[in-house]
A and B are shown apart, each in its own frame.
Chain A
Amino acid sequence: MSDVTRMTAAQIAGLIASGETSAVEVATAHLDRIAAVDERVHAFLHVDREGALAAAADVDARRSRGEELGPLAGVPVAVKDVIATKGIPTTAASKILEGWKPPYDATLVERLRGAGTVMLGKTNMDEFAMGSSTEYSAYGPTNNPWDLGRIPGGSGGGSAASLAAYEAPLAIGTDTGGSIRQPGAVTGTVGAKPTYGGTSRYGLIAFSSSLDTPGPCARTVEDAALLHAVIGGHDPRDSTSIPQPVPDVVAAARLGATGDLTGVKLGVVKEFAGEGAEPGVIAAFRESVEALVKLGAEVVEVSCPHFEYALPAYYLIAPSEASSNLARFDGVRYGLRSGDDGKRSLEEVMSLTRDEGFGPEVKRRIILGTYALSSGYYDAYYGQAQKVRTLITRDFTSAFEQVDVLISPTTPFVAFPFGSRTADPYQMYLSDLYTIPTNLYGGPAISVPCGLSEGLPVGFQIMAPTMADDRMYRVAAALESAVGTLTPPEL
């Protein structure tokens, strides 16, 4: 049999269901692949070999008993380390949580287990999901399998790289300002941000509560849809969870894969179609638009005048919420405590713990958020950003009266070399220029590979109305059928 690590999740599930291979064999092949290449890629912060093999053996046992298993039973999945996994280290790539083992599972982890998927381990990321390159991981960056000297995107660079390195066929990411889509774009993989409230945040270590959205990462659109269907849906433990079923994203992906987009109206975001992006990115995007037209889609240009304020609004709202969300890391109940010499006061110990436990980007954002919420600045910063958020939502609403989905490049530039954007934080923030508006609006968006620029992957972003996640899967699958998937060089 050919190498299972090169197969899609759908193919693997098919082979396991038909008995041609076992879940244990599949898990072993992926664990061996991780052992072989992860020293170079560093996609994983923790590999749970024992747990993965036990879960796989359980799937095999259930299958042999004739139990009916879900469509992804036995398929391995990698989980971003910002998601709580019972008894398995969960650090959010921060020193402040080093060694912490949650006493509970996130809702989506429960659902992954319930669906019979096999969790391989926890993937690397920017600390507390703050960053666009994984360079802010306290445990060292992840290297892009396309070029080990370049960033894999962020914050979910580990999840995306694990797919591009064939260490896992599926991964879970979280998207606050583009942390699923931008890594997907720069690693040539698929990353979907579901509608906010369409996937549960219970157990997701909060960065920005009103923006954080867990979602699927995969190498194909159909695989992403299959994973989306497993983790999505209402969760009573998350007050912001939408009490409606997720649209049938799998059917939509399969419909799109037929390559027919007749009657579908695409809107190119005028503000994102040229300025600020690398020429190679623009070229790949334009070629893909033409390909979509050939499939029958109608393309128009749509103006979203407030999108240019999305980045500033985001960098006020997200740090504000983060400054409050991260207050709980104080060295009292869990995680790191430093400077407790028996003489220092609690206040001193807390401050030393937080200074030592948090990395520079996290500290910058805590200070920025504290500033934006302070009395005297609240109205001009946080308050104004919340109003701009309303205007961005209105831009989306009126755009979706004209078109079915909006399209743009996922990120203005391809994977950049390590260290090239860390000196000036704002240059790093520009990575998320095109992805952020969706988060402020709350709708779904997906990044799908659409070609190469200077030998590196370019991502194509499709944005849909809230709770119309199926629409973006249809268009994404159609594009995938036209341009094909990307294969990285051998490691």
Chain B
Amino acid sequence: MAAISREEVAHLARLSRLAVTDEELDRFAGQLDVILQSVARIGDVAADDIPPTSHSVPLTNVYRDDVVQPCLQQDDVLAGAPDAAEGRFRVPRILDEEE
């Protein structure tokens, strides 16, 4: 049984904002299936009562003081922008609110 279908890969690509071609989809579906089959054995580890680790350093409560720091100049902010107008980043029309 395949771990992941071509349709699932297409859905994930949409969710990830990747306009993959049909050819890419075919290739990735096969490769991801191999990878997922290989990593699936992680489920063999009995770990029900094991706490998860999200951070390898045992730090907590790292804060900064509420003190203003210098900002970037607007010119520098927009220098790398693909498109800008009126001091803002210009983007094509937005289809919907959010997916």
Q: In the complex, are the beta carbons of A390 and B52 less than 8 A apart?
A: yes
Shortest beta-carbon distance, B24 to chain A, in Å? 7
CB neighbours (8 Å) of A236 from chain B are 64
A-B interface, 4 closest residue pairs, ranked by CB to CB distance from nearest: A442-B56, A386-B52, A337-B82, A351-B19
Given contacts A104-B72, A309-B41, A349-B91, 20 further A-B contacts (CB under 8 A): A242-B59, A333-B81, A344-B92, A352-B19, A354-B17, A366-B16, A366-B18, A367-B13, A368-B32, A368-B35, A371-B12, A371-B32, A387-B47, A387-B53, A391-B45, A424-B34, A425-B35, A426-B34, A426-B35, A466-B57
Known: A210-B56, A346-B93, A354-B19. A364 touches B32 (CB 8 A): yes
Distance in angstroms between the alpha carbons of A469 and B84 in the assembled complex: 47
CB neighbours (8 Å) of A239 from chain B are 59, 62
Instruction: Name the one of A240, A311, A348 contacting B19, with C-beta atoms under 8 angstroms.
Output: A348
CB neighbours (8 Å) of A424 from chain B are 31, 34
List which A301-335 residues lie within 8 A (CB) of chain B.
306, 309, 311-313, 315-316, 323, 327, 330-335
Distance in angstroms between the alpha carbons of A355 and B64 in the assembled complex: 38
Known: A236-B64, A388-B45, A440-B56. A333 touches B80 (CB 8 A): yes
CB neighbours (8 Å) of B80 from chain A are 100-101, 103, 333-335
Distance in angstroms between the alpha carbons of A381 and B45 in the assembled complex: 12
Distance in angstroms between the alpha carbons of A340 and B36 in the assembled complex: 35
CB neighbours (8 Å) of B21 from chain A are 355
Q: In the complex, are the beta carbons of A345 and B57 less than 8 A apart?
A: no
Instruction: Name the one of B28, B40, B57 contacting A363, with C-beta atoms under 8 angstroms.
Output: B28
Shortest beta-carbon distance, A469 to chain B, in Å? 14
**Interface of B with A (CB < 8 Å)?**
4, 8-9, 12-21, 24, 27-28, 31-32, 34-36, 38-45, 47, 50-57, 59, 62, 64, 72, 76-77, 79-83, 89, 91-96, 99
Per-residue 0/1 for A339-378: is the Cβ within 8 Å of any B Cβ (1 yes, 0 no)? 0101011111111101100101001101110110010000
> Which of B16, B83, B89 gathers most chain A CB within 10 Å?
B16
Q: In the complex, are the beta carbons of B43 and A380 less than 8 A apart?
A: yes
Instruction: Name the one of B17, B42, B51, B76 contacting A330, with C-beta atoms under 8 angstroms.
Output: B17
Known: A337-B82, A347-B95, A425-B31. A367 touches B42 (CB 8 A): no
Known: A240-B59, A313-B42, A367-B9. A389 touches B18 (CB 8 A): no
Distance in angstroms between the alpha carbons of A387 and B40 in the assembled complex: 14
CB neighbours (8 Å) of A160 from chain B are none
CB neighbours (8 Å) of A331 from chain B are 82
CB neighbours (8 Å) of A211 from chain B are 56
Q: In the complex, are the beta carbons of B19 and A315 less than 8 A apart?
A: no
Q: Is the C-beta of A383 less than 8 angstroms from some C-beta in chain B?
A: yes
Q: In the complex, are the beta carbons of B18 and A354 less than 8 A apart?
A: yes
- Pairs A–B under 8 Å by Cβ, sample size 12: A240-B59, A311-B39, A330-B17, A332-B91, A334-B82, A340-B92, A355-B24, A366-B16, A381-B42, A387-B45, A391-B45, A442-B57
Shortest beta-carbon distance, B21 to chain A, in Å? 8
Q: Is the C-beta of A197 less than 8 angstroms from some C-beta in chain B?
A: yes
Q: In the complex, are the beta carbons of A197 and B59 less than 8 A apart?
A: yes
Q: In the complex, are the beta carbons of A312 and B41 less than 8 A apart?
A: yes
